Structure 1
Amino acid sequence: MTLLYNKLIRKMALGLFFFLALTALVYASILPQKYDLKVGDVAQEDIRARKDAINTVATRKLQQAAADSVSKKYILDHNITRESKDEITQIFDSIRQVRSRDYLDEQGKANALKRMIDKNLSEETYVQAVKMDNSSLRELETITKAILEKVMEGGVKEDSIDRAKAYIIEEFRNIKLPQEVKNMGEDIAFSAIKYNMVYDREATEKEQQEAMNAVEPVKIARNQILIEKGTTVTAEQRELLKELGLLVQDRRVNLSLLAGAMLMVAILEGILAVAIYFFHRGLYENELYLSLLALIILSTLVISIGIKAISNFLIPLAAGSMLISILINPFIAIISSFIMSIAVGIMLGNDFIFSVVAFLGAVAGVFCTVKVSQRVDLTKSGGIIGLVNFALIMGIGLLNNNPLWTTLRQSSWGIISGILSSVLTIGTLPFLESAFGITTSIKLLELSNPNQALLRKLMIDAPGTYHHSIIVGNLAEAAAEAVGADPLLARVGANYHDIGKLKRPYFFIENQFTSDNPHDKLNPTLSALIITSHVKDGLEIAREYRLPASIRDFIAQHHGTTLLSFFYNKATTGTDKKPDEASFRYEGPKPQTREVAIVMLADSAEAAVRSMSSPTSGKIDGLIRQIIKDKLADGQLDESDLTLKELDKIAGAFSRVLTGIFHTRIEYPDRLKELEGKQAKNA
């Protein structure tokens, strides 16, 4: 619960930072022209409201009235109720203690009880307490606690103690007890009752804020003439200019514009948040990606503000969209493009022609990056974006009957904008990949290059493992496509999943080219340790070669917590004492993603099918499905989110690929017989 609360707090902090930063950008861009006018001066031009604005003085009055109309909120403190019940328990415990003093008479017991109980109880209560029998005393204690709890759980405010006491009297009136016993119960309940409704400042202020936000602002329409040209400025007009922040002498923050900026930013951020929450929940749960998204959007808008001085059509909004598409998600990139284009339109004086051009150019950039395979593709994307911008600006100019030369000059800025977007994307992408630990498709394709140093080392030093990894990669890619997972990530992860075998390649069967098997001379426990250590060795090598975290996950998880059954069975042969099974299992963790789980299954399927003699399509398919069934039964797929339907598709994909690859292979009889025996038993 604490972890979830902390994550929520961090997300709220990030959301607030994004809101404040974007508001500052928008506000700084929309500050209107200011005038140096005094009462009696003649206006040299029509002074208009540059944008829809808010009369802050009138609006604040309405907001304050709404806040004042909100009644105070209270919260029920159950701890106080428990304290009051505990006090009643103490009183009755004291009564029983005094009643046990047989050496005192009733008056002596009453006096002792009065000294013991530091409460303002009546004399009749003390006398009645020592006179009544034990059964009635227990009954009264139970009833008194129940009535007190019922009354206090209904909530007792500081100014309603008397009303609560009246409720206690009413409750006792309905109880069938002697009147003197009722009086005693009422007296004790009165002494213990306290107010338990505590003032809730946060809830009160929240409702006040909600009431203030619900107030309809007093608006001034955009382009409304405030002072006509040639008229003498009156005190009222100057006060209006001052209120709108249009006077040079007025250094205060323009609250109306700030409120408008905050409102627009709140709406834009709300749209983005809703889109992320409902359509891309994985991004919502990933604080790192949320930070990256906020950074790209803000950085793109900062660059846009700097470049707009040259031309409004030069704004490289597509750069941010392409970065978001490559690093996060194309759908989120389109939503972000919409958010950024609206913000740009506001910052450019509410001229949304520029928003249309920027948005459609950014969408073109997203489409260009959906299937990007290398960095040079981003250069081509810049040209496509430039052409789209050129066509859009040309079309808008022609629709507005602008001079052809002016339209052509403006359209050329659109081409330059596309090229600039491409340059910014290419230059920024490697830094963002490294800083945020993100593995893009471009990075994955670079890692899949056989000329990569680590893959070349694997091919030379452990050729059997290299060949096995390539086949596993083909299997994983086909299966990932079948179930809608990331095929490129699955293939590249498979290429690197066994790099730990570089430390001791000849201890693994695929790298043994002679009949001499070093495990024949080793204790089974030591053999198991050597085999399982290739995971840890692989992680060390991965860190040495700076492989991304997403690839390291394949190395760490591709065996899960699987049991090395061959060595375990070998260790149990000829002895009554069973070895510790944990010593013959991989440390894990189990696969956490669908892609890693697919590689685990592909790894096992490839090794098993390779060991078959005279494989047929049916035997291959049956063996693959048995392997998947074994992994499922062993709990290795529990944390991967793969469904049974997806497992069936994976089995089909494996069968198609392996049937086309394998012909006659040397068979491991024990393993095959065991699997075939299981198939026959399940038939």
Structure 2
Amino acid sequence: MTSKEPSKINSFYSRLAGWKTGRGTKYILFALLLVIFYASLAPNLLPQRFDIHVGAATDKDIIAPTQLPNNKATLQAQEEAAERVEAVYKIVSMHRDTVIAQMLERIESLNQDDQISSADKAQIYSQEIPDRIRNSVANFIRNQRESDNYSSQLLDEMQRTISNQTYSIPEETFLKIPRLSNADVQQISQVATSIVSRLMSDQIADAQSARARVAELVNTSSLESRTAREVAQELIRGVLTANKFYDEEATKAAKVEARENTPVVYVQQGEVIVPAGQVITQDMYTLLDENNLLKNEVNYWPQLGLFMLSFLLTLGVYLFIRQSAQRGMQYNNAQLLMLILIFVITVLAFHLVRILQIGNSPYFGYLVPAALGAMLITLLLDIHLAYVCSIILSVLASVILNMRQGEMFDYQFGLFTLVVSFAAIHSIHRASQRSTILKAGIMTCLFGAICVLTLVLLHDNEWTRMTVLYALGFTFVGGLLTTVLVLGLMPFFETTFGILSALKLIELSNPNHPLLRKLLIETPGTYHHSVMVGNLSEAAAEAIGANGLLCRVGSYYHDIGKTKRPGYFIENQNHMENPHDSIDPKLSKSIIIAHARDGVEMQKEYKLPKPIRDIAEQHHGTTFLYFFYQKALKQAEEQGVEPDFTEEDFRYAGPKAQTKEAAVVGIADSVEAAVRSLKQPTVEQVETMIEKIIKGRLDDHQFNDCDLTMKELDVIAQTLKEAVMGIFHSRIEYPEDVKKPDVKENKA
């Protein structure tokens, strides 16, 4: 490849960058995905429709294509359920024992007043006692209205019921009350309060039933005086009221709940709605019309339903991708187009197997390469997206491969697709070589067989020994077919869309890659440094659950920009003077900082994937070139001039590490450079140096844009300490006062 060829290719890809990130293009692609879902499901979900009329006879049986709700029968069942609901009553505690106790206190006080005659007292009692009873009820109802404890309708019912059941105390009772002694009144108070409390603790819908029990309870009480017993009976009867009232609102609500809880009456799938030759009645016609099974008028409801289902499936993908963007996982339009293409290929495979099913048996459906989409998405895009798409593909499979007459979905094929997809994802998500795909295919065979056996046991009456063997055989063939298709399609997707899969990373780590050969030949010191950084970063990344392979390969290319000016970096200065000693420190700074930008440009020319370029661009973040900054300050001081620069001028352009992998490579890069500068390093020196580097970057806020936790930084430090103990290469040790743990100085 000539030097012009990478430039032409780079120019072509630059022109394509617009559609890869355009919002309009993204919406168009999601619309395309919706159309694909609609077209895939339409042959199976749009129901058969009938051309019939009321009063005409049918020439063939009209069979329910699926479970159909019978609205008329459902309404009838709901009304019958509402009629069976009993009236609801509310129990209201009115504390009538308190009323009679207060009334007897008043009697005791008035009876002791010698200034009032017995006749006057009787007159007072005849007016005051009925008023007290009425007012106690009125006050209670008024307080309840203010507190909103009970509905207004219930309180009105209480007032009406109590008013209708009012007891009239005989006039002779009021004549007897003044003759009661103080002891009699006190004794009546104890007995009457107890009896009222006892009677009111029961549910009383009719106060008369409770009043009928008063005489018996009073006569068996401790009251000895006949007059006391007679007065007590009448006062108790007067105080007693109903406490159980009809609640019309609650009764209506119970009827509504009964209607709502009545199950829908269905015409079961496969059931004959209208036998051949029977005249169509209005009820039959209405049933078919309500379920959109008539041709006599244009009806787009089934199409709308299918559109909404397709929209929901598309929305699921859209929302997940949008949520992933918030977590820092960005999908460009090229990746979305690839996802759509994976869906198309998988759905086409479903339909091809469906053709084999027709005229054969349902178990032919197990030949489907159900895990194809899940494996491709896992390898090419993201494991989390693969799980979401597996659920969507299982829905598609349950519709496309459905062979059950009248059913919309066949959960067996949906479950089968979901099980083998999840098994494949789990087996392949850390694939580092092509043999892993074959292992994943074997796992899909095994878990597919387990799923089939599970379905056989659940529906034993639907299977014979031969059909079970056929189903298991097709399952294994389908698993192997999935492996072959994945192996064949992977190079196509990687080449066409520039995807960085694990297998692609393995290829990029080949030393014969043009950039790595250039690095080895022109900058052998940097090449050796990059290999060591790759070893360190891979170990640290795997220790915290990050992508170790990406760290290793990214490390190989992270300093590729140094090939433009190899002599200005310390690891390439064998037996030569350091050119930074004779040039302006600001120029030195520019040369050192430029290697990150130069590396990205070189990688773009050779079409290296963006995650690799991001590591090269971000591994230094915005760290500070302290050594050259101090040198520039000293130079300005010696010249007696005011510095025309700031610390910000001596920082890398960044950006800061956006991923764990970029942050890990940056730490490993500094650790390898710093530790190799130590002479005869000890464990304590290594450990101290690593802690200083990590703490320095942490204090410098270099990890603010990635999701590394403090615990993970501790794990990284421990892992790096164990890994670098084998590195004893000689490096120049800079003076202690100019060392910065997160800066590699000239080496950069």
What TM-score bracket applies, with the shorter chain setting the length? 0.5 to 0.7
Amino acid of the structure 1 residue aligned with 2:389: S
Q: Does 1:282 align with 2:327?
A: yes
Contact 1:458 1:502 in 2 (8 A): yes
Which among 627, 643, 646 is matched to residue 693 of structure 2? 627
In the alignment, which residue of structure 2 is the partner of 1:77? Answer: none
Contact 2:522 2:566 in 1 (8 A): yes
In the alignment, which residue of structure 1 is the partner of 2:220? Answer: none
Matches within 5 A, 1:115-154: none
Shift of 1:271: 6.9
Residues in 2 aligned to 1:22 and 1:55: alpha-carbon distance in whole angstroms: 30
Matches within 5 A, 1:508-657: 508-572=569-633, 573=635, 574-577=638-641, 578-581=643-646, 582-657=648-723
Contact 1:609 1:623 in 2 (8 A): yes
Residues in 2 aligned to 1:517 and 1:274: alpha-carbon distance in whole angstroms: 55
Query: More deviation in 434-443 or 534-543?
Result: 434-443
Matches within 5 A, 1:327-338: 327-338=380-391
Contact 1:506 1:512 in 2 (8 A): yes
Matches within 5 A, 1:280-319: 282=327, 286=331, 296-297=342-343, 299-311=345-357, 312-319=365-372
Residues in 2 aligned to 1:46 and 1:470: alpha-carbon distance in whole angstroms: 76
Residues in 2 aligned to 1:642 and 1:397: alpha-carbon distance in whole angstroms: 48
Matches within 5 A, 1:315-354: 315-347=368-400, 348=402, 349=407, 350-354=409-413
Distance 1:55 1:327, change over 3 A: farther
Q: Does 1:27 align with 2:42?
A: yes
Residues in 1 aligned to 2:604 and 2:465: alpha-carbon distance in whole angstroms: 59
Q: Secondary structure at the match of 1:317?
A: coil
In the alignment, which residue of structure 2 is the partner of 1:102? Answer: none
In the alignment, which residue of structure 2 is the partner of 1:103? Answer: none
Residues in 2 aligned to 1:315 and 1:486: alpha-carbon distance in whole angstroms: 32
Contact 2:626 2:738 in 1 (8 A): no
Which among 515, 537, 552 is matched to residue 491 of structure 1? 552
Distance 1:339 1:657, change over 3 A: same
In the alignment, which residue of structure 1 is the partner of 2:532? Answer: 471
Shift of 1:542: 0.3
Which among 64, 71, 76 is matched to residue 49 of structure 1? 64
Matches within 5 A, 1:42-441: 43=58, 46-53=61-68, 221-233=268-280, 237=284, 241=288, 244=291, 246=293, 252-253=298-299, 255=301, 257-258=302-303, 260-261=305-306, 282=327, 286=331, 296-297=342-343, 299-311=345-357, 312-347=365-400, 348=402, 349=407, 350-390=409-449, 392-393=451-452, 396=455, 399-400=460-461, 402-433=463-494, 438-441=499-502
In the alignment, which residue of structure 1 is the partner of 2:730? Answer: 665
Shift of 1:611: 0.8
Answer 1 or 2: higher relative contact order, Cα 8 Å, separation at least 6. Answer: 2
What do residues 481-539 of structure 1 show as CA deviations (whole Å, max 9, x unaligned)?
A: 33332222222211110011122222211112213333334333333222222122211
Contact 1:276 1:283 in 2 (8 A): no
Contact 2:626 2:740 in 1 (8 A): no
Amino acid of the structure 1 residue aligned with 2:432: S
Distance 1:55 1:441, change over 3 A: farther
Residues in 2 aligned to 1:58 and 1:254: alpha-carbon distance in whole angstroms: 26
Amino acid of the structure 2 residue aligned with 1:575: Q
Shift of 1:8: 10
Amino acid of the structure 1 residue aligned with 2:42: Y
Shift of 1:608: 1.2
Contact 1:49 1:224 in 2 (8 A): yes
Residues in 2 aligned to 1:13 and 1:233: alpha-carbon distance in whole angstroms: 47
Distance 1:28 1:664, change over 3 A: closer
Distance 1:274 1:466, change over 3 A: same
Distance 1:460 1:648, change over 3 A: same
In the alignment, which residue of structure 2 is the partner of 1:206? Answer: none
Residues in 1 aligned to 2:356 and 2:685: alpha-carbon distance in whole angstroms: 70
Residues in 1 aligned to 2:707 and 2:268: alpha-carbon distance in whole angstroms: 54
Q: Secondary structure at the match of 1:457?
A: helix
Q: What fraction of aligned residue pairs are identical, expressed as a percent?
A: 37
Contact 1:615 1:664 in 2 (8 A): no
Matches within 5 A, 1:441-480: 441-480=502-541
Contact 1:321 1:334 in 2 (8 A): yes
Contact 1:277 1:284 in 2 (8 A): no
Q: Secondary structure at the match of 2:273?
A: strand
Amino acid of the structure 2 residue aligned with 1:372: A
Shift of 1:24: 4.6
Count of aligned pairs between the two proteins: 513
Structure 1: gaps spanning 5 or more residues:
1-5, 60-215, 679-683
Residues in 2 aligned to 1:509 and 1:658: alpha-carbon distance in whole angstroms: 20
Shift of 1:607: 0.9
The alignment yields a C-alpha RMSD, in angstroms, of: 4.0
Query: More deviation in 636-645 or 362-371?
Result: 636-645
Q: Secondary structure at the match of 2:639?
A: coil
Distance 1:314 1:438, change over 3 A: same
Shift of 1:621: 1.3
Shift of 1:356: 2.5
Shift of 1:345: 1.6
Residues in 2 aligned to 1:381 and 1:644: alpha-carbon distance in whole angstroms: 35
> What TM-score do you get using the length of structure 1 for normalisation?
0.65
What do residues 624-645 of structure 1 show as CA deviations (whole Å, max 9, x unaligned)?
A: 2222233233333332333333
